């Protein structure tokens, strides 16, 4: 895949997430993430590899929060890696608090699918 196509995969994933359609997100997880996808994030201890882990994360995210919206500010691709800076805004259902998290991620692609992701967020913004 071209670097532009890798960027399109990420943007399509977030556009779909912004719609909040869990069944469509489940289908996309199977299409866009490798079977052994690994999320390198210190907050994600115990993350189940592959699309199943992505699905569980998305289900939890959309159950525990309302109005989830992702905005990508910057996106850059070199070879098999795409880096992007983005913001997630949502309301935590439990305490009705607005959450606004700024993140940076690097995704590695294999065969047009996301195989690994490294992610960091602003300190103290994410529970």
Question: What pLDDT score was predicted for residue 29?
Answer: 98
How many whole angstroms separate alpha carbon 125 and alpha carbon 73? 18
Report DSSP state, residue 106.
Answer: E
CA distances (Å), 4 to each of 22, 24, 45, 79, 81, in order?
Answer: 26, 23, 31, 11, 11
The pTM score is 0.91
Question: What pLDDT score was predicted for residue 42?
Answer: 80
In a domain, 127, yes or no: no
In a domain, 29, yes or no: yes
How many whole angstroms separate alpha carbon 91 and alpha carbon 44? 20
Res. 127: pLDDT tops 70: no
CATH of the domain at 116: 3.10.450.50
Question: What pLDDT score was predicted for residue 1?
Answer: 64
In a domain, 64, yes or no: yes
Mean pLDDT across the chain: 92
Question: What pLDDT score was predicted for residue 123?
Answer: 56
In a domain, 115, yes or no: yes
Count: domains in the chain? 1
How many whole angstroms separate alpha carbon 28 and alpha carbon 32? 6
In a domain, 126, yes or no: no
Report DSSP state, residue 47.
Answer: P
How many whole angstroms separate alpha carbon 54 and alpha carbon 58? 6
> For the segment 48-94, what is each residue's pLDDT rounded down to a tens digit?
999 999 999 999 999 999 999 999 999 999 999 999 999 999 999 99
CA distances (Å), 102 to each of 24, 46, 48, in order?
Answer: 25, 23, 24
Q: Residue 21's beta-bridge partner residues? A: none
Range of the domain at 98: 3-121
CA distances (Å), 100 to each of 48, 58, 60, 66, 119, in order?
Answer: 25, 17, 17, 12, 16
């Amino acid at each position: 895949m071209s670097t532009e196509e890798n960027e399109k995969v990420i943007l399509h994933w977030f556009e779909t997430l912004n719609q909040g359609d869990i069944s469509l997100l489940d289908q996309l997880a199977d299409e866009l993430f490798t079977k052994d996808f690994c999320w390198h994030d210190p907050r994600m201890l115990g993350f189940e590899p592959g699309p199943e882990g992505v699905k569980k994360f998305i289900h939890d995210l959309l159950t525990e929060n309302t109005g989830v919206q992702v905005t990508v500010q910057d996106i850059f691709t070199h070879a098999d890696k795409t880096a992007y800076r983005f913001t997630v805004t949502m309301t935590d259902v439990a305490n009705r608090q607005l959450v606004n998290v700024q993140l940076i991620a690097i995704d590695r692609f294999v065969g047009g699918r996301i195989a690994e992701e490294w992610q960091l967020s602003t300190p103290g913004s994410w529970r």
